[in-house]
Amino acid sequence: MHTQSTRRVLTRAASSFVATALGLATLLPLHARAHSIAGDRVFPATMAIDDPGVGDEANLQFGHIRVPGDSGDQSVNTFDFEYDKLITSRLALSVGGTYVMQNNPTAHGFDNFDVGLKYLLYVNDAHEFMTSIGVTAELGGTGSHAVADSFSAISPTVYVGKGLGDLPDSLAYVRPVALTAEVGPSLTTGAGQPNAFNYGFTVQYSLPYLEQHVHSLGLPQPIANLIPIVEIPLSHSQGQTTGTVNPGFIWINRYGQFGIEAQIPINRASGSHVGVLVQAHVFFDDIAPTTIGKPLFNW
């Protein structure tokens, strides 16, 4: 679970959302699976749009972009970290934070820290389909006064992933394609602070899927483990939509992945130059499935 820093809020509706997710954890059937796997499909841990699965994993990410500021354009560098711990095989707890460095005006320090819950609702292996629900709270006042807000925020979110591996033989070379999406409000407790509606999607073409489940072209390493991808994270607030188009690729194996994407602003309010995201991700549920990567409870 990872992504771009957004302002969220702690509300009664979101609290009920958390209670519902916890309740579902005891009602629905359990299937142990490492990170985001549906049938033959592995959904990678994407950089701007969270993937639809749960896992025991850690994410480190660097971002750079130039955005409009009060005194003209400002350069913003971010260093994100997130750790996801499986409570059960379907429920994960996440903690994360972002160190921010910016100029014009110059400021640096930690943004507010995040905590979250994510629950895997449904997996259809035959159709490579997966959906989850989650809620992430940004804890106001936990970051540096130079870069963080004093108010809290929360985002209840729905995550969906669909691989196209169930297409007929006539479309065999389209089968490596997968789509993922997320959608949810960002609500704020700060007096006079605007809410937002966050959404986005990814389009992926998995070369490992092509090699292993469609037709082997004999691609050499590291190309055979690449997933070319385009992510489009968007946010709508106060009548304006902002976001980026992020083309790039992810190199993945059983134990982790590396990724890099460009960030192309969709309009002037989203940024003034092309930025970059760089990711390193580790799957503890595959590296150490009986120790650190093991769920806390076998429900």
**Which residues, 6 or more positions from 20, have their beta carbon under 8 angstroms from its beta carbon?**
133
Q: What is the pLDDT of residues 133-189, one digit of tens each?
A: 999 999 999 999 999 999 999 999 999 999 999 999 999 999 999 999 999 999 999
What is the mean predicted confidence (pLDDT) over 43-54? Answer: 97
Domain containing residue 70: CATH number: 2.40.160.40
Q: What is the pLDDT of residues 78-101, one digit of tens each?
A: 999 999 999 999 999 999 999 999
- Residue 27 lies inside a defined structural domain of this protein: yes
Q: Does residue 8 surpass a pLDDT of 50? A: no
CB burial of residue 184 (10 Å; 0-12, 13-18, 19+)? buried
Q: Which residue range forms the structural domain that includes residue 149?
A: 12-287
- pLDDT reported for residue 137: 97
- Residue 292 lies inside a defined structural domain of this protein: no
- Residue 211 lies inside a defined structural domain of this protein: yes
Give percent above pLDDT 70 in the chain: 88
Query: What confidence tier does 192 reach under pLDDT thresholds 50, 70, 90?
Result: confident
What is the mean predicted confidence (pLDDT) over 46-57? Answer: 97
Instruction: Characterise 183 by phi-psi region: left (phi > 0), alpha (psi -120 to 50), beta (else).
Output: beta
- pLDDT reported for residue 34: 53
- Residue 57 lies inside a defined structural domain of this protein: yes
Q: Does residue 20 surpass a pLDDT of 90? A: no
- Residue 159 lies inside a defined structural domain of this protein: yes
pTM of the full predicted structure?
Answer: 0.88
- Residue 124 lies inside a defined structural domain of this protein: yes
In total, how many domains does the chain have?
1
- Residue 216 CB coordination number (10 Å): 10
- Residue 236 lies inside a defined structural domain of this protein: yes
- Residue 7 lies inside a defined structural domain of this protein: no
Residue 294 has what DSSP assignment? S
Give percent above pLDDT 90 in the chain: 82
**Which residues, 6 or more positions from 112, have their beta carbon under 8 angstroms from its beta carbon?**
138, 139, 140, 141, 142, 143, 148, 149, 152
Mean pLDDT of the chain: 90
- pLDDT reported for residue 10: 39
Query: What confidence tier does 4 reach under pLDDT thresholds 50, 70, 90?
Result: very low
